[in-house]
Amino acid sequence: DQQVKQNSPSLSVQEGRISILNCDYTNSMFDYFLWYKKYPAEGPTFLISISSIKDKNEDGRFTVFLNKSAKHLSLHIVPSQPGDSAVYFCAASVGGSQGNLIFGKGTKLSVKP
Amino acid sequence: GAGVSQSPSNKVTEKGKDVELRCDPISGHTALYWYRQSLGQGLEFLIYFQGNSAPDKSGLPSDRFSAERTGGSVSTLTIQRTQQEDSAVYLCASSFFTGWRGYTFGSGTRLTVV
C-alpha cells in the first residue's frame, strides 16, 4: 500500500517553461515533506522541503506547495532548464525532520531545449 | 570524507551466495539509513541507525537481510542466500540527528543476482 504516490512516471517540458511535479499522500500523520532529484548512476540529492505548518516554500527556481486538506504537494520549477532533467522523488516523514522517509516512485522530467 | 561512500559500486553474485555492502557515512553524521530501489520502483526503506539507539529494522524484507554499524560510523548491509528479487540498487544515506535538511545519499551499490 503506497503511502506516497507520484502518479506521473514521466513529464516533458520545453526549456524556459514551468515544470509541475505532483505528489499525493495518504498518511495524515506525515508532517514533513521533501523533494529529491536523482541523476543516472548517482544517489538522490536533496532539493527542497516543507513542514506541514506551511503551505509554501520557495528556493530560487524551485517552489513546493502543500495542500494538507487534499493531501497533495507539488514542486514547481520556473524557468525549467535542460540541466533539470532528472528523476524527482517526493518523500514524507512522521515526526518532523527525524526518522525514516517514505518515498514515491519518482517522476522522470525531461526538459527539451 | 566529503560525501557518503559506498562500495562496491557494482556487484554481480550467484543466487544463493551471501553479499556484503559497505557504507561510509559523512563524518559526524549520527544517523545512517539503508534504502533500496528496485527497477521501476521508488526508494524502499530498509533500516535506520541513530547514534547508540537500537536500529529501526522495520523495513528489512526478510531475515536474510541484516545490517550493523560499527563504532557509530561504517555500516555493512549483509544479504544471505541471495535471490533474484534482491537485485536492486542499494542506497545508503546519512544525516545529522537534529536540524538536518535532508539526507545525503551515496551513489549506491547495484546488486545483480544471477
Task: Render pLDDT for B65-108 as a digit per residue (tens, 0 to 9).
Answer: 999 998 878 999 999 999 999 999 999 999 886 555 678 999 99
Taking CA–CA distances from A37, the nearest residue in chain B reads B105
Residues in chain B with CB shorter than 8 Å from the CB of A44 are: 43, 91, 105
Nearest by CB to A49, from B45, B101, B104: name it: B101
Output the pLDDT for position B101.
Answer: 60
Mean pLDDT (chain A) is 93
Nearest by CB to B48, from A4, A44, A100: name it: A100
What is the tens place of the pLDDT at every residue in A2-36?
Answer: 899 999 999 999 999 999 999 999 999 998 999 99
**What cell was used for B16?**
544463493
Residues in chain A with CB shorter than 8 Å from the CB of B33 are: 100-101
Distances (CA, A) of A58 to A10, A78, A112, B103: 23, 11, 24, 19
Q: Check pLDDT > 60 for residue B14.
A: yes
Nearest by CB to B42, from A42, A46, A104: name it: A104
DSSP assigned state of B55: P
Q: Check: CB of residue A111 under 8 Å from CB of residue A49.
A: no
Taking CA–CA distances from A105, the nearest residue in chain B reads B42
B28 touches chain A (CB under 8 A): no
Instruction: With CB atoms and an 8 Å threshold, state whether B101 touches A99.
Output: no
Nearest by CB to B101, from A6, A46, A104: name it: A46
CA pair distance A6, A107, nearest whole angstrom: 7
Residues in chain B with CB shorter than 8 Å from the CB of A42 are: 107
Residue B102 or B42, more confident: B42
Tell me the three state secondary structure of residue B62. coil
What percent of chain B has a predicted confidence (pLDDT) above 90? Answer: 68
B20 touches chain A (CB under 8 A): no
Residues in chain B with CB shorter than 8 Å from the CB of A4 are: 42
> What length does chain B have?
114
Output the pLDDT for position A2.
Answer: 82
Output the pLDDT for position B47.
Answer: 93
Q: Check pLDDT > 80 for residue A96.
A: no
- Give φ, ψ of B97 to 5 degrees: -70, -40
DSSP assigned state of A42: S
Residue A2 or A88, more confident: A88
